[in-house]
């Protein structure tokens, strides 16, 4: 899904409000103290991605954020979009070579952290810079836009807080522990083509590529999720959000107006709102209109993933209004 705030304008505004000069001085002082205590040395690439819990948050995130921006990935095992976004963020953490640190937080095991950050849905990505929490985006997003956000985050960290990152020792890894190379699957090339099209905002191209995979393998999970996301992003690409919201408010029973608003809800991370809107629209319509809304709701279920509890709840609500 498209992130809600990829411009990073919130980071810049917050930095100004929080007196960036003071934060920069504190960051420099903390790095100097770490150096005196023998810290600040080179780390291995594997150390750029860490699992964080509530007990270690102060040390692993807040303290580390005085030397490098810390990107926090809120995820859960049952979250299908998390399974796409998580590996991408991990790969970028290694590729960026110490310019940011990735902290992964399992929301099921760390409910307090989830509440403190105001996480409404996952995946959700935040950053902590010099002790300050900043929202980045919610939901999966094309790699190109994630890179843009990370570049802006790093720039803010350098210019306003003096964060220069951490030194990575490429030789620090254990060659014997490197994962075995996984053989390419039969549809890897097509799925990669689809992903590249999605990154380039070529939603029609991504749809064609995913459908090509599904034509041969109708149960391919990655292709089903990718297709649902590509179709959703293609539908919202040309929408005027204000106009859509107005039409939905003025036409509470109209299927087209409510489906467009539900698409925007989902892209914005308001999953329950999107599902609830369409369940209610199914209840208030009959015939072909009702069926069209039902099908759209099932498509949105694919975007979130069948194991998400919000999907389970919405399926139950849908069954009630249908039967």
**What amino acid positions are annotated as catalytic residues?**
79, 82
Decide if 298 contacts 304 (C-beta within 8 A). no
The span from the CA of 207 to the CA of 229, in Å, is: 9
Largest CA distance in the chain: 73
β partners of residue 127 = 71, 134
Q: What is the secondary structure of 284-307 as a DSSP string?
A: T--HHHHHHHHHHHHHHHHHH-TT
Distance CA 235, CA 303 (A): 13
Are 191 and 162 contacting, i.e. CB atoms less than 8 angstroms apart? Answer: no
Strand-pair partners of 73 = 104, 125
Task: Give the closest residue to 118 by CA, choosing from 104, 89, 100, 138.
Answer: 138
Tokens of 50: 């860490």
């Amino acid at each position: 899904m498209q992130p809600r705030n990829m411009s990073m304008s919130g980071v810049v505004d917050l930095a100004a409000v929080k007196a960036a000069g003071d934060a920069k001085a504190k960051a420099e002082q903390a790095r100097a103290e770490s150096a005196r205590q023998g810290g600040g040395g080179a780390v291995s690439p594997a150390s750029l991605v860490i699992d964080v819990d509530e007990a270690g948050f102060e040390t692993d995130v807040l303290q580390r954020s005085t030397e490098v921006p810390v990107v926090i990935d809120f995820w859960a095992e049952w979250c299908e979009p998390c399974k796409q976004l998580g590996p991408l963020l991990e790969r970028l953490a290694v590729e960026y070579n110490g310019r940011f640190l990735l902290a992964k937080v399992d929301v099921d095991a760390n409910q307090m952290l989830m509440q403190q950050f105001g996480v409404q849905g996952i995946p959700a990505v935040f950053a902590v810079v010099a002790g300050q929490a900043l929202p980045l985006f919610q939901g999966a997003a094309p790699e190109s836009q994630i890179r843009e956000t990370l570049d802006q985050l790093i720039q803010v960290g350098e210019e306003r807080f003096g964060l220069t990152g951490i030194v990575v020792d490429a030789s620090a890894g254990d060659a014997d522990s490197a994962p075995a190379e996984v053989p390419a699957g039969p549809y890897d090339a097509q799925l990669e083509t689809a992903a590249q099209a999605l990154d380039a905002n070529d939603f029609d191209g991504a749809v064609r590529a995913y459908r090509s995979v599904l034509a041969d393998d109708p149960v391919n999970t990655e292709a089903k999720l990718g297709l649902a996301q590509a179709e959703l992003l293609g539908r919202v690409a040309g929408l005027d959000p204000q106009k859509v919201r107005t039409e939905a408010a003025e036409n509470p029973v109209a299927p087209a107006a409510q489906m467009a608003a539900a698409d925007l809800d989902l892209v914005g991370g308001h999953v329950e709102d999107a599902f609830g809107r369409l369940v209610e629209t199914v209840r208030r319509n009959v015939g072909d209109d009702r069926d069209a809304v039902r099908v759209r709701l099932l498509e949105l279920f694919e975007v979130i993933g069948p194991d998400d509890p919000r999907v389970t709840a919405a399926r139950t609500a849908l069954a009630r209004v249908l039967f």
